[in-house]
Structure 1
C-alpha cells in the first residue's frame, strides 16, 4: 500500500489523528465555495496538502504557506535567511521542490535575492496560487479524499445531533 493511501486511511480513523472529529459538515462544504475558504482553514490546508501529495505537487502549498510566513517576518535578518532558503528550495533551477513559475518571475527573484524585499516572492506566490486554484483545487473537490471527508463529517454531525 502506498504511503499516500496509508495516510488517507489514517485520516478517516478518528482515533488516529482526530481531524475529522474537529470538523463539521458545514465547514467542509464551505471549502467547495472557494479556494480561498479552503486554504484559510487550518484543517482545509492540511487536507488539501495531503491531496496534493497524491498528485506529487505539495511543493505548491508548501511554497505558498512559506511565503505567507515570509511576508509577516519583521526581522530583516530572519527574512534574508528565509529568502535564501525559499530561493534554494523552490526557485533556483533544479531546486529540490522547484515550483512552476514563468521565466520573468524566476529571473526577477534571482536578480533581487541578494537584497530581498518583503514582496520579492509575491509574483511567484500569485502564480502558484493561480495554478492551485485553477488546476488542483477542482480535482481536489472531486477527489476521494474530499468526498470521503464529506461523508465522515456528515456521519459525525449525525451522531452529535
Structure 2
C-alpha cells in the first residue's frame, strides 16, 4: 500500500464490506457449480432434475431410444398410482412397451417379459419393478455415458 495515500475510515469500512460480500458471492457460485456438476454425476440424480430430464429425453430422441425413458417414467407413475388404477395402467404399460407388437417396445429379455405376462391379471405396486430396473440399468450403462459426451449434456450444464 502507498504510504502517502490516506483514505477515510468510511471508505476502508466500505471496502471491507465489499470484500466480505464478494467472497460470499464467490462461495455461493462455487457451491452452485459443484451442485450442478452433481446433477450429471449419475442417472438417478439426472432423472430427478427437470432440466436434466429434458436434456436426456432430447438426447434419447436423437438416438431413437426415447422409449426406455418413457417406460421408466410410466413405471414411476404406475408405482404411485392408487390401487384402483393399477390394472388399467398396467395394461396400458404392457401394451405400449412390453408386448412384442408394442409401438414403443423396450428391450427386455424373454424371462422378464414372461414374468410380466404371468402377473398382468392381478398387478400390484411392484409389478414392473424388475423390468424397470433392467431398463434403468440399460440406460445407466449404455445411454447415460454417451449422453455425458453429447451436446445435449453441454446445453443442460449451461442452463444451470
Indicate whether the TM-score tops 0.5.
yes
The root-mean-square deviation of aligned C-alpha atoms, in Å, is 1.6
SS of equivalent to 2:123:
coil
Is there any run of 5+ residues in structure 2 with no aligned partner, and where? 1-31
After superposition, residues 77-156 of structure 1 pair within 5 angstroms as: 77-150=84-157, 152-153=158-159
Is there any run of 5+ residues in structure 1 with no aligned partner, and where? 1-23, 155-161
CA distance in 1, matches of 2:85, 2:124: 12
SS of equivalent to 1:37:
helix
CA shift at 1:30, angstroms? 1.6
Runs of 4+ more than 4 Å apart: 24-27
Rg bigger for which structure? Answer: 2
CA deviation profile, 1:68-95 (whole Å, cap 9, x unmatched)? 1101112x23111000000000001121
CA deviation profile, 1:26-59 (whole Å, cap 9, x unmatched)? 5542233111110111221121111100010111
SS of equivalent to 2:75:
helix
Partner of 1:34: 42
SS of equivalent to 1:53:
helix
SS of equivalent to 2:135:
helix
- Scaled by the length of structure 1, the TM-score of the pair is 0.74
Question: Does the Cα contact within 8 Å between 1:25 and 1:153 map onto a contact in 2?
Answer: no
Q: Which of 32, 38, 62 is the aligned partner of 2:70?
A: 62
CA distance in 2, matches of 1:103, 1:139: 26
How many residues are treated as equivalent by the alignment?
129
- Scaled by the length of structure 2, the TM-score of the pair is 0.75
CA shift at 1:149, angstroms? 3.3
Question: Does the Cα contact within 8 Å between 2:51 and 2:156 map onto a contact in 1?
Answer: no
